[in-house]
Chains A and B, each alone.
Chain A
């Protein structure tokens, strides 16, 4: 097939990008080569719109062993142990085929982690759906949850935490972000950099089929009404094979046979081979007839662009082929020597004894397009003038009921009960807490992980929103007693070709970077998902942050359930009464404008570290961060989890009671302490200039707000736990 500009454009390339290809090659590419360029140069693989801005992220720190640029990030957790982790999106496929889209998203991220030699020890996910009124939402939610469970449960990796939200802006584009953490010895980490000449290049795992061809290109385009026709580009997952692949790879990794290893994810054999060659500054020669194929008569083009799952590419030490083959035979997986490393610095493909592609590796990687797209700075919206009489007319009990049972606050038990969260026998904090926590097997250490996003805040003001999400994950980790170490980010946005969307991206990234830098909480891995829009309607900017922290002694882990009657509850951090963009404002007052709550990084850091200090001294019995729905919502959750009540005493403030209870000011926590420790705790808080109020005392089975307003724990439970289940039934 002769290639021309029209065919290039059908491959998603722009006219000037095609011209650049011809110029770099000094000739017209053939169809296989064009396919390879289109796969490497699409947004998903090349980060062409985001690269220039991602450089600004804060990525360094004392605990960082590997930052962005590898299959996943790696952090040091002492004693020779390291945690490998990353989050990735699988948004587009999940909208088209929710079960397989979500399942292969989970499979892909786990592969990224075990490619580096780490055994996956925990999965998390952040999933976002359209309005609960939208007729597609229910099926999409059901399919995605089944898919995540179907894959993760079979792999035997616990799903320990997650986030689910509903917002109209996801009606035509749901988000499915999957995160995995793995455990590895610091001196047994594997990388994707090839080295040495004439080293065998090995293909292992499943056979290659025609599924997923051009999946990465699909993820780099917006949707239109013909989206259902794209079903064949969604890959099909096989968690059983992945489980075998995991065990086989870890078995091979325990020896010294591997030089470099890379999973075949987006753009399959193309990106994995090119990545390894590029990092090693080498060439690679592949005989495509040697690639194990599932279907007959597959062309070089199809073999190179297939996104069949559960496959790996390995550069082996010469002479280790037999040892490696024996392991993969034991696990019943395909094993084939398909090529070798060369000094040409080209990727050379052969098929039926003919050369079918010959491309300099640097043209695909270093010379890939990079755009400094136009972007629009957003202004901080004006504060709303909230009518005090409207606020005063609200009944606390009714308002709380509506908030506790609202889709974004209600219990997500219906979802996480479908995920195996206890396999591997080390889950010490299950979903439903501030962070999931797993022990580091056979040690006293534990790893806490959380995932969060706040699209509403980011939409109202991207810079503040970006900071806020980072701080929210920081607080989630602190609340379980973990010292936050690093984050991974999944940046979900609309089209970068629109100035508003690009502006949201640039400013969210800036906010993330500022917060990460201030908190010494670097970004070590991540991915970008643009073009989350259908028929020109984009999603709200949704950067998702996955935070990871360390608990040195797992017995000191904190949970949010109230522990003991007569203990005192303190609010840490100042309550100013910020209502704009709060849940109260949006679902009770029907007001969607105004600025998000301000983020004060000094307070965030100071409050968090002071709490860790108090936890170290065993003063804190339970803790929970204050987020959506404010203090009263957070208190309700502590009550219903602990099956205990609270006698609230509202501190003397100038702000209205409703504002005090429902405001979403940042940097706040609720902590439970023993009354006898109050003096000592106050001293430490005062010394560190941490603002606190005493909000009440724990009592039995009832939340008493004032003499007229009382709620039983059973009432709180029924508001919070029933909504999702009855919605789905």
Chain B
């Protein structure tokens, strides 16, 4: 507790989607190791504003690792050098005094840069809109306990459903594939009787939309699973493939 470090930050700056972009370097003194990575970014921005410069734009919101908004590529890793965390949960104690930290936005064909470190992840919403739901409207549903669900299935569905839609899986994938994201949703719903009903249709529509939006193919490198802040398992991809194939066979 109470230790301070000095840092050099190499930050990607890009005015808008059309701009080519470039790195700029900044020096920061006396950053407490107890501050989070995003608090360090706040300190940088306060410094820039006080110098009359435009602060670095970055996405962030809840700052407790659940909204999925923060999306920094730090020293070559999505969400930086700690496991099972989002950028907001990364703390400066993971860095050394005098270190140079490189900060980039997610880089993927599916996620165009909007400004500096902010990218457009609307593609994820579009994929969900293609089928990532159960087709039930408000009202007229059965009692919540009408259908028992084995605890094992419910727990497994919960694990898949814990995806926060941050896009780290896409950002780290050399193919820019969204398979972990898509498979987590397909698995979450296919594991539950309420979602099983339209599981095949869902898998087919979501995969088709993913392909259409320019995400790459999955070659099973497993990088997505390593970088997922919520530990969503690659076994979901196997389940997606099963659902997808069985849907195709039925066609």
Q: Do A and B come from one complex?
A: no
